[in-house]
Structure 1
């Protein structure tokens, strides 16, 4: 049963593609004529009023209508291509009339629309007529027994006369038309695809829009990186001020107090706690030592938060393994221990893993986590998967900071966390070395 069903589905798909191609080619007769007429009228009207103050508004109005025509053409081409062609236009709806005219006129898509509407008339005329002729001739041959008897032509040349004027000849036309039906359908599909490909070549987003969007993306990425860097500097400054600096200041004050207690003439003076001055000084020195140890530990934590030294010394795999060893979760690390990446990539990847493991333990109630580090061609892949309850928020501040760090390297960060889990945090970094 599966083979007949599959064959029927395949035949149905061919029939649909052929029908869409025929509709596209036939409608090009009307659309091509309408587009050609509009283009001539618009060009003449804009040209006549261009020397007046109405030139700018007339040009904007003409291009607005032309873009609606072009959008319809993109949708029509989608009948054959399988999906509508994307819009190639850049925003130009702000500023003065002169600024908007300049913005519209400098877009190559504006002029490609005019070229297509002008060229569609002769091309669509030829393609539409050819499609209609092929269809009518083939269907006429297949249905010859139904109508050929009504148009007798005793003076027709051979072999038209026996085919048209005899019953066997008419059924012979049916056989010939049926045999040529796949050829006619292929010609229709091929012609429709060629015309739609021409529409795609002129009406699809071009290199200009790609460059403008890439420039905008890079500008946005640069802004986000600058903001992230400023926030990181503020965090470091705050941590130093509230943590290590405060501990070092306290240690300095404690040592100063011990120094006063050890001055000549005060060594045996009782302290406030009725102990000799030397004993008080020793207690102060011990307190200062503990404060300095705490300050040193605070500085080490701060350094690890900026760039763990193990990354530089032993690489990403070893740093992640150390991170896994400190985690309360059961963390499995997969990947080549000897593989090294650029320093910026290793640093960003490390913090992706750190954030993923931390979130799994704090928010997902996970018990185990798997970290996969791999290289695929020129791309480094980092994946953190946990067995938690899922439902992670992709817009959280921690993930947003990671996304900024990754975007600065032209990488991508994706989060998959359906309710019930698992949560998969995946990052990709371009890496040519």
Structure 2
């Protein structure tokens, strides 16, 4: 409480100086750039002025940290490369450039009012607390009531002390409130705005799209490899076996063993195809829903799996597929790498969000950047979701995914 109050007083008092510096720089830079705009120095002058303005705004973001507890995020976009004209254009189109300037101008009246009020209130209250130490030196018999008895008598001076102590919480509240109000105005102007958020969102979506395309290409390569090395090889072998059986039948030789072998090869190929189909989209998801598919995974898992959630809940097909593979990968990792014995799978739905959480009792230490978890992250991000993992050494491991629906 005391530290917060002192920080608020320092912030408001320093705003007096910061406001004068900010307004002076805003006026000087605006006049200088305006005068040089008709010359070849206009572009470099604008870039130089913007650089200094941003440094002053950065100082303001750090000062606001005294009150807000965290520095305000930097809203600027990169302007490296290109000609002077191009760089000037990139700086000028950023709203943050003009919002910085607006704050430097607004800081003067805000800092003047807040700083003077904070200093006066603090000095008056502290002076009242220590009134017995100084009030005797400035007697004023002509002071109006009730200041005359308070200032000129010993009981009155100690009464001022009591009054000052009682007003300390009020003074502290005023300083914190005024400091927070000014810091919030600073955050409104100096924090990243809608333009920066849109640019960041576009960059995130572009990265997600690239990751989805890469994941899809990898999945197609996996399917092609599995078909070539698995089912296709078995079907080709069965065809060759049947051809050999037909040749034997033409010469009257026994071919029963070859037919049996071909049948086994075709059965193996069918099993391989079914496994491949389950890896793409398990039919049980479509037929019986996510809860039944998870129950089937739990039945095949070597772990003791507890499933929590409403078995009647249904979600969009893409969401169910993503959640299914998150659970499948989580159970596989828990049994293979974490030496877990039990796992709790929780499925929950809130407004607009499906959340799946796997908690196992394994040894922990999972690598969030591993290939398996990275593949899950891409699958989840493709649906604009998020994947989280907490796996301290010694466990437990908590794997959670949130997907909009």
Which of 321, 325, 333 in structure 2 is aligned with 1:347? 321
The 5 A counterparts of 1:188-337 are: 188-263=175-250, 266-267=251-252, 277=253, 279-280=254-255, 282-337=256-311
296-305 or 99-108, larger mean C-alpha shift: 99-108
Deviations 1:92-122 (A, max 9, x none): 2233333322222111111111011011112
Distance 1:325 1:187, change over 3 A: closer
Which of 14, 28, 44 in structure 2 is aligned with 1:27? 14
* C-alpha distance in 2 between matches for 1:429 and 1:46: 50
Query: How far did 1:319 drift?
Result: 1.0
111-120 or 56-65, larger mean C-alpha shift: 56-65
Matched, 1:91 2:78: yes
Query: How far did 1:129 drift?
Result: 1.5
1:180: which partner in 2?
167
Matched, 1:422 2:393: no
Query: How far did 1:419 drift?
Result: 1.6
Distance 1:256 1:62, change over 3 A: same
Matched, 1:400 2:387: no
* C-alpha distance in 2 between matches for 1:28 and 1:347: 56
Query: How far did 1:187 drift?
Result: 2.4
Matched, 1:379 2:353: yes
* C-alpha distance in 2 between matches for 1:330 and 1:232: 30
Which of 11, 26, 29 in structure 2 is aligned with 1:39? 26
Q: Secondary structure at the match of 1:365?
A: coil
* C-alpha distance in 1 between matches for 2:344 and 2:114: 59
* C-alpha distance in 1 between matches for 2:151 and 2:105: 42
Q: Secondary structure at the match of 1:262?
A: helix
* C-alpha distance in 2 between matches for 1:76 and 1:424: 38
1:362: which partner in 2?
336
2:365: which partner in 1?
391
Distance 1:287 1:160, change over 3 A: closer
Q: Secondary structure at the match of 2:61?
A: helix
Which of 33, 38, 41 in structure 2 is aligned with 1:54? 41
Q: Secondary structure at the match of 1:418?
A: coil
Which blocks of at least 5 consecutive residues in structure 1 are unaligned? Answer: 1-12, 268-276
Query: How far did 1:45 drift?
Result: 2.1
* C-alpha distance in 1 between matches for 2:7 and 2:248: 98
* C-alpha distance in 2 between matches for 1:242 and 1:96: 55
1:8: which partner in 2?
none
Query: How far did 1:225 drift?
Result: 0.7
2:5: which partner in 1?
18
Distance 1:158 1:386, change over 3 A: closer
Q: Secondary structure at the match of 1:364?
A: coil
Which blocks of at least 5 consecutive residues in structure 2 are unaligned? Answer: none
* C-alpha distance in 1 between matches for 2:20 and 2:232: 79
Distance 1:18 1:238, change over 3 A: same
Q: Secondary structure at the match of 1:184?
A: helix
Deviations 1:145-169 (A, max 9, x none): 3223333444444444444334444
Q: Secondary structure at the match of 1:63?
A: helix
Deviations 1:2-38 (A, max 9, x none): xxxxxxxxxxx1x322222221111111111011111
2:94: which partner in 1?
107
Q: Secondary structure at the match of 1:409?
A: coil
Query: How far did 1:90 drift?
Result: 2.0
307-316 or 201-210, larger mean C-alpha shift: 201-210
Query: How far did 1:240 drift?
Result: 0.9
* C-alpha distance in 2 between matches for 1:421 and 1:187: 47
Q: Secondary structure at the match of 2:246?
A: helix
- Rg (Cα) greater in structure: 1
* C-alpha distance in 2 between matches for 1:407 and 1:121: 45
* C-alpha distance in 2 between matches for 1:182 and 1:382: 47
Distance 1:245 1:85, change over 3 A: same
* C-alpha distance in 1 between matches for 2:306 and 2:168: 62
* C-alpha distance in 1 between matches for 2:225 and 2:132: 93
Q: Secondary structure at the match of 2:401?
A: strand
* C-alpha distance in 2 between matches for 1:208 and 1:162: 62
2:112: which partner in 1?
125
21-30 or 188-197, larger mean C-alpha shift: 188-197
Question: Number of residue pairs matched?
Answer: 405
Distance 1:53 1:361, change over 3 A: same
Distance 1:57 1:340, change over 3 A: same
Q: Secondary structure at the match of 2:347?
A: strand
